[in-house]
A and B are shown apart, each in its own frame.
Chain A
Amino acid sequence: MTDVANAIVLLTNFVIVPGVAYGSQLALGALGVTLVFGILRFANFAHGDVMAFGTMVALLTTWWFQGMGVGIAPLPTALIALPFGIVAAVAFNLSADRVVFRFYRRRKSPPVILLIASVGVMFALQGIVRFIIGPDDRRLADGARFIIKASEFKAATGLKEGLAIKLSQGLTVVVTAIAVTALFWFLHRTRAGKAMRAYSDNEDLALLSGVSPDRVVLYAWLIAGTLAAVAGTMYGIDKSFKPFTYFQLLLPIFASAILGGIGHPIGAVVGGFIVALSETAVTYAYKKFLRYLLPESWEPSGLMQLLSTDYKLAISFVILVVVLLVRPTGIFRGRVLS
């Protein structure tokens, strides 16, 4: 019996806890991408770097607060700096729309042109972020580190395996839950949210019903910027802030959005968790896990690892390709990317 408990704790510690925290971060990112796609009808490649931009501002504000001795220990200071990051990311999104995207929207350019324009915005933003804060790895987290420490868990339960839950992981899940609930409440209960859904569903019909397209576009950028800053800052608190890793997040984020059905908010959340948990589950070595469950004579000699951790990023690629081949609309029947 203790063997089974040990096996479950082991798997929770190394696969489920990190997977759920990472999944929350992906879900927030994928929601932003999917909303922009639903309203503006193009895949926004600049989203990963908008996350980096918002996080950068949150980090600079965190330093400012720390310098003044302001903090909310045991919670990380970055949490009270987050509103500044949100304002910055939203401001960037709105100015990018004004300077770049609005021009193509008014010309009714095909989505692929907007997509390529967003790649341009992405490169420009990468330059801005590196110019302001540089390419280095920086820590955002301060305050307490753990909700449950591995050694305390072992002592409390008497099991051989420890379970550690970092404060940042708990916070990420809580913040994601709040953000997703607020978003769904907005989309389903408010006039503006309903207008957005109507616009996304059928643009012409919504316009005929008196929905203001500029308003809807404004809301889409507002929400996308907010989600980007929250996702980026939570990722930064949980791991660390490095501009390049945010660019690399773009692929799993798109994989999540497409897997769930692009343009579909619930799909983005579900997709985020599936992609994150597959990344951790496929690259985990199950040798120790099986040793707890199997009789001694069956003990595996290899590591029982499906894929080396070097291939972690490739899992998003595989999911992306399989979804596009087998079910291009995604789990929740979103749009087909054109």
Chain B
Amino acid sequence: MSKMRLAAFVAAAAALCLGLAPDAKADGHEVKVGVILGFTGPIESLTPAMGDSAELALKEASDSGAFLGGKVLVPVRGDSTCIDAAAATAAAERLVTAEGVAAIFGADCSGVTIAITNNVSVPNGVVTISPSATSPALTTIEDNGLFFRTAPSDARQGQVLAEVLTERGINSVAVTYTNNDYGKGLDGSFENAFTALGGTVEISAAHEDGKGDYSAEVGALAASGAEHLAVFGYIDQGGKGIIQTAVDTGAFENFIVADGMIGDSLIEAIGDDLTGTIGTAPGSASEGAQMFLDHAAANGVDGDGPFRGESYDAAALIVLAMQAAGSADRGGIAGHVMAVANGPGEPILPGELAKGLQILADGGEVDYVGASSVELTEVGEAAGSYAVMEVEGGAFVTKEIR
């Protein structure tokens, strides 16, 4: 009897293990890639198009037939929530253990990306490439060479914003930032750069997301006497609430926003009062950026928006690194990301993944350029070019690239 039981137990345990960790490579044809973005939460209006852009790159590689001798890439989505580190870790854990993904595209917001890198990517040895996590803290994270990002660090964005403001003769601002890694990081880098250029930050106050009422926060910001308000927050959250309240009470008329606040839904919510707002977001006016827009439009994806090109590029890097490694084993990918992202080699633009895959299959070298002119620094993050935008006629219009 006990032998029977033991046998049943072993069988059950084996079945359970198989059930819980089906090997993605087992059927030899599919390669799963995790797509973790905040499909709910403070940037839920930005993420669907980011996910579509990334999946466009995966589909392109699958359709080419050249990926690892004709294998198919299957995206598996997970919800990072953007703000809840525990939920994001659980979602990533599920992708890695239950779905058996070969690599992770994501996450989006800095806090959850740090959590996923520390708790899931590094312990499991899974490469993670984020299109939009911009906290300076990720530059120095202990990632064992597994974390990359196609978005530049906010240390650079703060610098760019400070330069733009100084050149326009604005030398006194009030700053409010969302109380998390992203907000604090950007606030710190902006304040350092702005002060070094001779500007004054009259007040720098955090705001909590998800509150009903921001009149007290805006009252304090207005009391500083500054005429310009810089908002480093989220478009669907406190950032919008602050700008709305500031406009309603007449506290500020001039706004400066960073990448988390740039999007059409902000203009829809606030209206004409936003005209003249200055903003920065990662982006470039290169040949690749235009090619990406055309390529996305041809495939039914709206590529014109924040972090969409970066998303395509991050997914493309995952694909090319797998091809360069010659297999979709987790271990091999990390070592080839830098080689495909930077020169030497044949430049690869959006829509040319088939060509890149073929070159790699033939033993050649590629230098992926993509939509955002990808060039990774030695810690594996984009060196960063920023689009300086201004609200004109009800839309964010790109003024210059720096």
Contacts and interface: CB of A to CB of B under 8 A. Distances in A.
Please classify how large the interface on chain A is, using the bins under 10, 10 to 19, 20 to 34, 35 or more: 35 or more
Interface string A10-51: 000111001000100000000000000000000000000000
A166 B213 CA distance: 13
A244 B217 CA distance: 19
Contacts of B250: 13, 149-151, 153-154, 162-164
A288 B223 contact: yes
B400 interface: no
Given A239-B213, A242-B212, A150 B224 contact: no
Interface in A131-148: 137, 145-146
B216 interface: yes
Contact of A309 (B216, B236, B248): B216
Nearest to B249: A164
B70 interface: no
A18 B222 CA distance: 15
Consensus secondary structure, chain A interface: helix
Interface in A270-312: 279-280, 283-289, 291, 303-305, 308-310, 312
B272 to A, nearest CB: 12
B223 A284 contact: yes
Given A235-B212, A280-B215, A288 B220 contact: no
A283 B206 contact: no
Contacts of A162: 249-250
Contacts of A153: 250
Given A14-B222, A150-B250, A242 B213 contact: no
Contacts of B205: 308-309
B211 A303 contact: no
Contacts of A212: none
Residue among B210, B215, B225 with the most chain A CB within 10 A? B215
Contacts of A285: 203, 219-220, 223-224
Contacts of A166: 248
Interface string B178-205: 0000000000000000000000000101
A95 interface: no
B212 A14 contact: no
The 9 A-B pairs of least Cβ separation, nearest first, read A150-B250, A162-B250, A285-B223, A14-B219, A239-B212, A245-B212, A18-B215, A285-B220, A288-B223
B142 interface: no
B225 A288 contact: yes
Nearest to A146: B248
Q: Quick one: which of A163, A235, A289, A309 has the most chain B CB within 10 A? A: A309
B216 A303 contact: no
A303 B220 contact: yes
Contacts of B218: 14
Contacts, number: 87
Interface of B: 203, 205-208, 210-213, 215-220, 222-225, 236-237, 248-251
A14 B236 CA distance: 24
Given A287-B223, A288-B223, A291-B225, A14 B215 contact: yes
Interface string A103-143: 00000000000000000000000000000000001000000
Interface string A146-184: 100111011000000011101000000000000000000
B219 A240 contact: no
Contacts of B215: 14, 18, 280
A22 B212 CA distance: 11
9 contacts: A13-B250, A14-B219, A14-B222, A150-B250, A163-B250, A245-B212, A280-B216, A283-B220, A310-B206
B227 to A, nearest CB: 12
Nearest to B241: A240
A14 B249 contact: yes
A168 to B, nearest CB: 10
A285 B203 CA distance: 11
A304 B224 CA distance: 10
B171 to A, nearest CB: 18
Contacts of A242: 210, 212
A287 B216 contact: no
Contacts of A286: 223
A19 to B, nearest CB: 9
Nearest to A153: B250
Contacts of A18: 213, 215-216, 219
Contacts of B222: 14, 288
Nearest to A286: B223
Given A146-B248, A284-B223, A312-B216, 15 more contacts: A14-B222, A153-B250, A164-B249, A166-B248, A244-B210, A280-B215, A283-B220, A285-B219, A285-B224, A287-B224, A303-B220, A304-B223, A308-B220, A309-B216, A310-B206
